[in-house]
Structure 1
């Protein structure tokens, strides 16, 4: 039944977006994490990727969280001479996490999650109506 297939496809979307939100939350949590010693790199932003595969059992394209990649943009450098990770000139490397970008990414992931949830709810209602019609 195609309605059941749509449940599985949407559930895979929920799981993928949930993983994406977890990675975004990790980025935000580490937005102020610096290295512990001079010259040590701070936290590097992670980027979620997705991959799709055909599930023979379901008979449809499923999505899943792919390999994590690291953002290669340069670290921000701040002048903090008293910081334990400051170099000889007093500069500290800060993570390449922009909380505004993370907030926008989180909103997009949230909307995708909600869209998949709406598909599941609509499918559930259609299946229930079908069962009600068959009982009558």
Structure 2
């Protein structure tokens, strides 16, 4: 694994976690949205991550073999590992039902369908994304420090 490859892996994770935090913020801001463009209550959104650059070990091995010529030199290295967002999906769990007959979106019985956003779950997800973001910044700083030390050795 090359020096820049290590940085690319962490950078891809930082980008993915940033998007995850943006989606969490969107969920929190729509916690009381009872009507969206399609006329239904807001549904919580989730971010789905996937590995990029091969997936399984067998795929990675096959890619590495294809990228080398007979002398063992790397021909090209475009399958940088890392993480990416494969999809942003809606949570299909049940909506919350609240009795509020004065609400404009209440049904004939006075119940309102509220979004399936749970503030505790969003807080936990936010903390998890923040910790992952911090861990990847720590990795970037460690790689940077190793590069600086390597340059100092070369002087």
Note the alpha carbon deviations across 1:98-127, whole angstroms, 9 max, x for none.
Answer: 000010011111111111100000000110
Which residue, 112, 131, 136 being the options, matches 1:111?
131
Q: Decide which of 103, 111, 124 is 1:83's aligned counterpart.
A: 103
C-alpha distance in 1 between matches for 2:124 and 2:89: 18
Rounded to whole Å, the distance in 1 between the matches of 2:93 and 2:53 is 34
Q: Which runs of 5+ in 2 are unaligned?
A: 55-75
What RMSD in Å do the two structures reach over aligned CA positions?
Answer: 1.7
Q: Counterparts of 2:131 and 2:86 in 1: how far apart (Å)?
A: 19
Deviates more, 1:55-64 or 1:5-14: 55-64
**SS of residue in 1 equivalent to 2:9:** helix
Aligned residues: 132
Query: Structure 1 residues 59, 4: CA separation in 2 closer, same or farther (over 3 Å shift)?
Result: same
TM-aligned CA deviation for residue 3 of structure 1: 2.2
Query: What secondary structure is seen at the aligned counterpart in 1 of 2:41?
Result: coil
| Gap runs ≥5 in structure 1 | none
TM-score by length of 2: 0.80
Larger radius of gyration: 2
Q: Deviations over 1:15-67 (max 9, x none)?
A: 0000111111100111111127xxx4210000110012218645541211121
Q: 1:74 aligns with which of 83, 94, 113?
A: 94
CA distance in 2, matches of 1:113, 1:66: 18
- What secondary structure, in the 3-state scheme, does the structure 1 residue paired with 2:87 have? coil
Distance 2:53 2:95 in 1: 39
Please say if residues 9 and 60 of structure 1, whose CA atoms lie closer than 8 Å, have aligned partners that are also in contact: yes
Hey, what's the Cα distance between the residues in 1 that align with 2:97 and 2:85?
A: 32
- Return the match for 2:150 from 110, 117, 130: 130
CA distance in 2, matches of 1:62, 1:119: 13
What TM-score, normalized to structure 1? 0.90
